[in-house]
Amino acid sequence: MSEKTKRFRFPQNQHMDDHFNWWNFMPMGLMHVALIGIWWTGFTWTAVAMCVFLYVARVFGITAGYHRYFSHRGYKTSRTFQFVLAFLGATALQKGPLWWAAKHREHHRDTDEPEDAHSPRHYGFLDAHVGWVYREARSSPDMDLVKDFSKYPEIRWIERHQYLPGLSVAVLCFLIGGWSGLLVGWLLSTILVYHATFTINSLDHMFGRQRYLTGDDSRNNWLMAILSMGEGWHNNHHYYPATARNGFFWWEFDPTYYMLLGLEKIGLVWNLRQPPKSILANEKPPTQKIIDKCATYIADGFSADRITANLRARWEGSHIMEDLRGHARTKWSAAEAYLAEIELPDLPSADELKARAQKQFKIQHEGLDRAIERAHDMLRRSVSHRLIEQAREERQQHA
Ligand SMILES: [Zn+2]
Ligand SMILES: [Zn+2]
């Protein structure tokens, strides 16, 4: 585990530690082990049909319910059907809709920053996939983010009894299909739904293409779109989250959206929000926030301390160090102006910055060129700051 993981603290839960809680992980671990039981029960046609049906129904419960409705309000529905969506989502045993939506809203707020509980960039594949759920600090959301839904008593009821829907389905499967019904129909489908969901947080921030410059690592990936019924168009989604669809074009397979269209036809849901034309055309210039986010990532790959040390070694005994100490003694701005005029050859070259940018951001975009320039400025500034500070200290020591 990295130092960063051990020290992890969310601002709102300073007192919690972030160690992996093996005890809480037991049910998840045992469910995986219990799959071995299929060796004895075998596959019956009934059990396989139950598995397929429960996979599709519950992935839909998560994607259409927990994700596009409770987290992003991508469409509207009645209070009754809202309850149905919450119940269906809860049958997947991924905790309650309020917890899920609050964590997910945090993910969109802090995507691939250290505060993002499941960023593979910061915590690696396994922790982004499932480990974060069993780390207390990272799995505790700010519940103020979901006040729009926590005001409904029936939603709070599901949240309190979050295991009830999933376990009822298990009992039902056993009654219909016996042990094979339980292990293949219920258990196998539950685990497949888990990994379909988890993959979006882990692999879909690692592998695939980017259409939009988002400053994070979200990717569009057709294979994950098939497995997760449309969620694999994750770069689209991070660029414009508040929609009923994640596949923005007809060729981007998004069965969750097609099913929502069906529900709209029979009047159960309405006001399905669409991405605007300007988004589809990808014409909107990136915001300063996105440029800064990219630039910070690029600059973080180079140590300002090391560059400073290299420059000082290079200039040792030369007039530059003497001049700098002289300026630093009188005025900070004079020293800054002096450094702005001279070359700092130990700063990374444009090519080095570009290489780091392209390794992480899978996109050709003019915004990325701006981010590279900005990263260069950021590094130049922080190196200058260090040089002046050190020159000042030395001046004082000599005085
Ligand atoms: Zn994401
Ligand atoms: Zn989302």
Summarize pLDDT for 346-397 with one digit per residue, the tens: 999 999 999 999 888 888 888 899 999 999 999 999 999 999 988 888 877 7
Is the predicted pLDDT of residue 3 greater than 70, yes or no?
A: no
Measure 25 CA to ligand 1 centroid, in angstroms.
Answer: 23
Measure 377 CA to ligand 1 centroid, in angstroms.
Answer: 29
3-state secondary structure of 396: helix
Measure 70 CA to ligand 2 centroid, in angstroms.
Answer: 10
Q: What is the pLDDT of residue 236?
A: 97
* 256, 243 Cβ separation under 8 angstroms: no
Measure 342 CA to ligand 1 centroid, in angstroms.
Answer: 43
Q: What is the pLDDT of residue 8?
A: 53
Q: What is the mean pLDDT of residues 224-229?
A: 97
Measure 44 CA to ligand 2 centroid, in angstroms.
Answer: 36
Measure 104 CA to ligand 1 centroid, in angstroms.
Answer: 8
Measure 148 CA to ligand 2 centroid, in angstroms.
Answer: 16
Buried b (16+ CB within 10 A) or exposed e, 35-56: eeebeebeebebbbebbeebbe
Express each pLDDT in 79-123 by its tens digit: 999 999 999 999 999 999 999 999 999 999 999 999 999 999 999
Q: What is the pLDDT of residue 334?
A: 86
Measure 235 CA to ligand 2 centroid, in angstroms.
Answer: 10
Express each pLDDT in 302-314 by its tens digit: 999 999 999 999 9
Measure 290 CA to ligand 2 centroid, in angstroms.
Answer: 17
Measure 369 CA to ligand 2 centroid, in angstroms.
Answer: 27
Percent of the chain at pLDDT exceeding 90: 78
Ligand nearest to the CA of 224: 1
Measure 3 CA to ligand 1 centroid, in angstroms.
Answer: 24
Q: Write the CA distances from 157 to 54, 71, 86, 165, integer angstroms.
A: 23, 18, 10, 12
Confidence bin at 12 (pLDDT 50/70/90): low
Measure 66 CA to ligand 1 centroid, in angstroms.
Answer: 14
Q: Work out the mean pLDDT of the chain and round it to a whole number.
A: 92
Q: What is the mean pLDDT of residues 229-250?
A: 96
Considering only residues 13 and 210, tell me which one the structure prediction assigns the higher pLDDT.
Answer: 210
Measure 178 CA to ligand 2 centroid, in angstroms.
Answer: 37
Distance, CA of 121 to CA of 128 (rounded, Å): 9
Token look-up 């951001």 returns 361
Q: What is the pLDDT of residue 2?
A: 44
- 77 beta partners: 269
Measure 201 CA to ligand 1 centroid, in angstroms.
Answer: 5
Tell me which residue of 223, 219, 250 sits closest to 236, measured CA to CA. Answer: 219
Measure 201 CA to ligand 2 centroid, in angstroms.
Answer: 10
Measure 384 CA to ligand 2 centroid, in angstroms.
Answer: 40
Measure 64 CA to ligand 2 centroid, in angstroms.
Answer: 11
Distance, CA of 394 to CA of 305 (rounded, Å): 17
Measure 200 CA to ligand 1 centroid, in angstroms.
Answer: 7
* 158, 166 Cβ separation under 8 angstroms: no
DSSP state of 77: E
3-state secondary structure of 224: helix
The model's pTM is 0.89
